[in-house]
Amino acid sequence: MPRRRGDTREQIREVALELFAEQGYEKTSLREIAERLGVTKAALYYHFKTKEDIVTSLFEDFKADIDELRSWAREQPVTPELRREVVRRYAEILRGAGKLIQFMQENGPAVREMKAGGDARERFRAFAEILVDKDASLPDQIRARLSLFSLNLAFVLRQEIDADDEAVHAAALEVALDLLPSD
Amino acid sequence: MPRRRGDTREQIREVALELFAEQGYEKTSLREIAERLGVTKAALYYHFKTKEDIVTSLFEDFKADIDELRSWAREQPVTPELRREVVRRYAEILRGAGKLIQFMQENGPAVREMKAGGDARERFRAFAEILVDKDASLPDQIRARLSLFSLNLAFVLRQEIDADDEAVHAAALEVALDLLPSD
DNA sequence: GTCTATAGGATGATAGAC
DNA sequence: GTCTATCATCCTATAGAC
């Protein structure tokens, strides 16, 4: 059965993300990705210039979503309600990006060294500055970071807590909103 | 200048932890560790049977501290004050283990596959069950996990927030205590 | 677009001399 | 305890045929 035209690139992305999230970036070889797809390594190199290029491609949609949210937020006056809305929208973006978040979360050293990873971390950092005043107390600074983190963490906790994804997600969002400065 | 007797094993541990935390487990080769110490790879293999064995050794003190805290906690009646005290003592244990925590945190896939790593994660999981009732609400479940996590996270945030380590640590502890169920 | 074949190198680990 | 030398295996990446 032949692969449908234009499908291969997308299939590489899917399999790569799956493996990167599951067993890590370094431990996942291009040979393994190719084998799962029933092609050779050389075929991968036709679609992506390097291994890192696959990661870059994986981050693209996520980066675009985050940038859109950030530029929207920049146009609004900073109020407690804006902050809550930013967290809600951020949570919505994360929903579709579970494996990417897990990959980012659990492959710090590898991600840090890649351009796309550094960009994503920088975006994450920039969000914290929307959620809390620069001169807020240290505990509030930490709470704001933890708020974003609680959403990321939901993906890890789902495996540990016995409850369905929808419920965990809703609960994580509730916790995240509680962690914002009350002003 | 000759190395002092019995020092080499300890020096290997120090350099390895430094590199594992900084650039990741997989990206750190035994050659690199040996080079930093001015010895050869073969010398490393005299002190440790495998690369994973170095990690096992790194986790040993931490595991002992955690086990002691857990068995102490088991003998106490579960009250809100016990929970707060457990978090305080956990925070104290983490203080001396910054790089190990960072390594654990940022090398999920590698750590997960190693016996010592799995043990450490299991201990972490077990702590959550002391901090919150099994039948507590889902948000409270998440908050309890996030409480422990906030302490871990302090080590990462120190680099990002402009404040001295002592202050960040104290603030992280305050946030952690706030996240416990109020009962 | 996908293949075979291979370059060029690093890696974890071991054997055996000193 | 530390060394030299080596093994077997894996890796990313490329050249060139089909």
Residue where the block lists tokens 């283990």:
B97
The spacing between the Cα labelled CA in A33 and the C1' in C5, in angstroms, equals 20
Helices (H), ranges, B38-79: 41-47, 51-75
Residues B81 and B181: their CA atoms lie apart, in Å, by 11
Higher pLDDT, A152 or A79: A79
Residues with CB under 7 A from strand C: A 3, 5-6, 8, 34, 38-43, 46-47; B 28-32, 41-42, 45, 49-52
Inter-chain touch B24–A110, beta carbons under 8 Å: yes
Counted across chains A and B, CB pairs separated by less than 8 A come out at 106
pLDDT band at A31 (very low <50, low <70, confident <90, very high): very high
SS3 content of chain A, % helix, strand, coil (to 5): 75, 0, 25
The spacing between the Cα labelled CA in A11 and the C1' in D14, in angstroms, equals 23
Residue A117, pLDDT > 90, answer yes
For A147, nearest residue in chain B (alpha carbons): B146
Domains A7-47 and A58-178 share a fold: no
Q: If you write DSSP's letter for every residue of A110-140 in order, what string do you get?
A: HHHHSHHHHHHHHHHHHHHHHHS-TTS-HHH
pLDDT at B158: 80
Residue where the block lists tokens 């084998």:
A35
Which residues of chain A make contact with B170, given a CB cutoff of 8 A?
A: 138
pLDDT at A5: 57
Residues B131 and B145: their CA atoms lie apart, in Å, by 8
Protein contacts on strand C: list nucleotides below 7 Å from a Cβ.
1-5, 10-16
pLDDT in tens, chain B (183 residues): 566 656 999 999 999 999 999 999 999 999 999 999 999 999 999 999 999 999 999 999 999 999 999 999 999 999 999 999 999 999 999 998 999 999 999 999 999 999 999 999 999 889 889 999 999 999 999 999 999 989 988 877 787 777 888 999 999 999 999 999 987
Protein contacts on strand D: list nucleotides below 7 Å from a Cβ.
1-5, 10-16
Q: How far is CA B129 from the centre of its chain?
A: 18
- The rounded mean pLDDT for chain A is 93
The torsion angle over the Cα atoms of residues A130, A147, B160 and A126, rounded to 10 degrees, is -30
Higher pLDDT, B51 or A149: B51
Of A106-120, A148-162, B83-97, least confident by mean pLDDT is A148-162
Q: Architecture of domain A58-178 in CATH?
A: Orthogonal Bundle (1.10)
For A162, nearest residue in chain B (alpha carbons): B138
Inter-chain touch B171–A106, beta carbons under 8 Å: no
| Fold annotation for A7-47 | Arc Repressor Mutant, subunit A (1.10.10)
B52 closest-nt by C1' vs CA:
C12
Inter-chain touch A139–B174, beta carbons under 8 Å: yes
CA angle A144, A146, A150 (to 5 degrees): 125
The torsion angle over the Cα atoms of residues B141, B143, B148 and B150, rounded to 10 degrees, is 160
pLDDT at B1: 57
Residues B54 and B34: their CA atoms lie apart, in Å, by 13
User: Which burial class, exposed, middle or buried, applies to A100 when counting CB atoms under 10 A from its CB (0-12, 13-18, 19+)?
Assistant: buried
Of the candidates A108, A142, A167, which has its C-beta nearest B150's C-beta?
Answer: A142
Q: How far is A99 from chain B (nearest CA, A)?
A: 13
So where are chain B's domains? Answer: 7-47, 58-178
For A166, nearest residue in chain B (alpha carbons): B138
Inter-chain touch B175–A142, beta carbons under 8 Å: yes
pLDDT at B79: 96
